[in-house]
Chain A
Amino acid sequence: MAPVLALEGVSKRFGAVQALSDVSLEVNSGEVLALVGDNGAGKSTMIKVIAGVGPPDEGEIRWQGRPVTIHSPSEAQSLGIATVYQDLALCDNLDVVGNLFLGNEIRRLGVLDEVAMEKRSRDLLNTLSIKIPSVRIPVASLSGGQRQTVAISRSLLGEPKVVLLDEPTAALGVEQTAQVLDLVERLRAQGLGVILISHNMVDVKAVADRIAVLRLGRNNGVFDARSTTQEEIIAAITGATDNAVSRRRARSEEGE
């Protein structure tokens, strides 16, 4: 079966910066693909290409085997691509239901159908086993992890096939990171393709099936998460021959 989403030979330039050059990537249904790389490696740029925020200069995107162009976020959404950006952009003053349905409110005779929205929210959160105190409290009173799960749930209302998560655990504590990773696993169990960006190798090893490494805007290998050690991935991220650790060793040897 063709991967649900595949990118081939994608390049993207910002003025003098070649943010992506000839990058390829593919994700299957029911798979978590981790996208890792150092700061400025081009991960967020890659997400923006897929989400339709910053279309590529060159390269091909294939959706379920079929070549497509994605010029706007709404085109990405209608294909079935949902994106959760690092800054969650939730409305603190609205309750969970209000945030989940913001911009896509269910209406009855022109009036907001709070009952239907609340029911769908509860159903959605239940199928994802998301625990929040109440769907009727303002999201301001939720913890960081709960806010992250609300943001992810919000992206699932459109019943996407691929979910892009840009550093979903970056600001979270141990317990809350676990909550979000649990959620990522449940998305996979429901047959979605997940692209997960993270700087945390432990998280990546914990949930990812495959790990794609970007380095200076280029592919630097795709690894199987189970059979690869953390050190090997870090070597790929930093460049095996030229990384901080080996430079340090070299320095200390010179010094002797």
Chain B
Amino acid sequence: MTQEKPAGPAGEAQVDPRLLVREEGFAGYLGEFRRRIKGGELGPLPVIVGLVVIWLVFQTLNDRFLSPQNLSNLSVDIVATGLISVGIVFVLLLGEIDLSAGAVSGACAAVLAVLSVGQGWDPLLSMVVAVAVGGAMGLFHGFFFAKIGVPSFVVTLAGMLAWTGFQLWVLGPNGTINLPDGLISNLTDTYFAYVIAAYGLAAAATAGFLLVSLVGNARRRAAGVPSRTVGDIVFRTAVLAVVAFGVAYVLNLYRGLPLALLIFLAVVIVTDFVLRRTKYGRSIFAVGGNIEAARRAGINVAFIRMSVFAISGAFAALGGIFAASRISSASQATGQSNVLMMAIAAAVIGGTSLFGGRGSTYSALLGMLVIQSIASGMALQGVSNAIQFIVTGAVLLAAVVIDSVSRRSQKASGRA
């Protein structure tokens, strides 16, 4: 290439003086950080800060909190509700709500138990059918919402009642079906104890991230669009490596890498990719941002809405399967009580906006970590259920306040 300078931000010839390019190095990060705070683009920052604070507080109260055993259990406990929350994120991105997710998860857990235990079906087939049933339930909600025009919160409220009834009916008079040892209960009770498993995954994640960053950056440079500096990439990779190897180290101190966590992480990464890097995901953001613009751009709004509710139903079912697996039974209580609220709270606490168009499935992971950390820390302290509910409610309120305020400051710093 015969450019006088690499096409880094500083090398552009036709730069507008007001162009927002980040300065190199630490000062640059600080400047961008300040701009983001002012513009209300906080991203996952509040939740990460919150998580660190929560961990420090509970660790000082009880030094068993950050023990490998507790952290390992925590990492499995987040999975069931976390998977439901992934589906909730999709719905929230549309600016809608799905109140049926808890009931769908319980109903599908019941379907799974009846098929695999009652009817003696193959467990894998039973799981596939249970997820398909969840997807169909979601599609049903989506149809009434997208085609008939019933508000989503009413449809899914109706669904919540109806599917809870369905769950009780499927379970029959006993109300509980125990799952024998086998594939289903192994979902949450399988640990890859070889040290190499967790470390290997951490190494693969780090290497994969580095590779993707470098290849992407090379393409950007070749195309002459602004690219990251090498230092920036190294810094990001290093942060990821510290987190990944730290988690692997802790998990290896107890029973190794939990299968359930592995599946949850894979789900989060794949769904995030779908949302950010595919036309389908972009369409979801567009519908959540401005439905008229989406329609004029030729996006099939009804299809997007129905498919998103189907996705939410399917993930609710998957969450129900993991919930049943965790306690080796499906009962009338599966998916009931606060499961729905936790799933919605996790998504919002993790940084997905209730107003639509902003968020990511990583918020399901981060938000569940916050909620489950609070639950686990307070359980260690012997705090009553009553207080736990109150504290979790307060955290949810704080998250919604941050969401609303950042939305307001976005508006303020937006259209001048």
Contacts and interface: CB of A to CB of B under 8 A. Distances in A.
Nearest to B410: A140
Contact of B20 (A74, A126, A137, A147): A137
A102 B278 contact: no
B290 A112 contact: no
Contact of A103 (B224, B299, B357): B299
Given A142-B414, A144-B416, A93 B223 contact: no
Contacts of A114: 277
B279 interface: yes
Interface of B: 14, 16, 18-21, 39, 41, 216, 219-220, 223-225, 277-279, 282, 285-286, 288-290, 292-294, 296-299, 356-358, 410-411, 413-416
Interface stretch (A115-123, A160-168, A188-196): A115-123
B259 to A, nearest CB: 28
A220 B414 CA distance: 41
A91 B357 contact: yes
Interface in A50-80: 74
A140 B19 contact: no
Contacts of B292: 87, 89
Contacts of B18: 131, 133
A131 B223 contact: no
27 contacts: A87-B292, A89-B293, A90-B290, A91-B285, A91-B289, A91-B290, A91-B294, A91-B357, A93-B285, A93-B357, A98-B282, A102-B282, A102-B297, A105-B282, A111-B277, A115-B225, A118-B223, A119-B224, A126-B14, A131-B16, A131-B18, A134-B20, A140-B410, A140-B415, A141-B414, A143-B416, A144-B416
A52 B14 CA distance: 38
A110 interface: yes
A103 B298 contact: yes
Contacts of B19: 133-134
A226 interface: no
A92 B289 CA distance: 6
B277 to A, nearest CB: 5
A103 B223 CA distance: 23
Given A91-B285, A102-B297, A110-B278, A141 B410 contact: yes
A118 B357 CA distance: 21
A114 B411 CA distance: 26
B54 to A, nearest CB: 29
Contacts of A94: 282, 285-286, 289
A134 B15 CA distance: 10
Nearest to A130: B16
A112 to B, nearest CB: 5
Contacts, number: 97
Contacts of A134: 19-21
A236 to B, nearest CB: 33
Contacts of B224: 119
Contacts of A131: 16, 18
A93 B358 contact: yes
A111 B216 CA distance: 13
Given A105-B279, A112-B277, A141 B285 contact: no
B279 A107 contact: yes
Interface of A: 74, 87, 89-94, 98-99, 102-105, 107, 110-112, 114-116, 118-119, 122, 126, 131-134, 137-138, 140-144, 147
A138 B285 CA distance: 12
Nearest to B219: A115
A93 B415 CA distance: 13
Contacts of B20: 133-134, 137
B10 to A, nearest CB: 15
Given A116-B223, A133-B20, A141 B413 contact: yes
Contacts of B279: 105, 107, 112
A12 B76 CA distance: 66
A40 B414 CA distance: 32
Closest 9 CB pairs of A and B: A103-B297, A93-B357, A91-B289, A93-B289, A89-B293, A140-B414, A102-B297, A103-B298, A131-B16
Nearest to B295: A89
Nearest to B356: A93
A122 B13 CA distance: 13
Contacts of A141: 39, 410, 413-414
A119 B225 contact: yes
Given A102-B293, A102-B297, A115-B220, A92 B225 contact: no
A93 B414 CA distance: 11
A111 B278 CA distance: 5
B225 A118 contact: yes
Which of A90, A110, A112, A140 has the most C-beta atoms of chain B within 10 angstroms of its own C-beta? A140
A90 B219 contact: no
Contacts of B278: 110-112
Contacts of B289: 91-94
Which of B219, B225, B279 has the most C-beta atoms of chain A within 10 angstroms of its own C-beta? B225
Contacts of A119: 223-225
A112 B297 CA distance: 16
A92 B223 contact: no
Given A105-B282, A115-B216, A144-B415, A133 B16 contact: yes
A115 B278 CA distance: 14
Given A92-B290, A140-B411, 13 more contacts: A89-B290, A89-B296, A92-B414, A93-B285, A93-B356, A94-B289, A99-B293, A111-B278, A119-B224, A134-B20, A134-B21, A138-B410, A141-B410
A115 B215 CA distance: 12
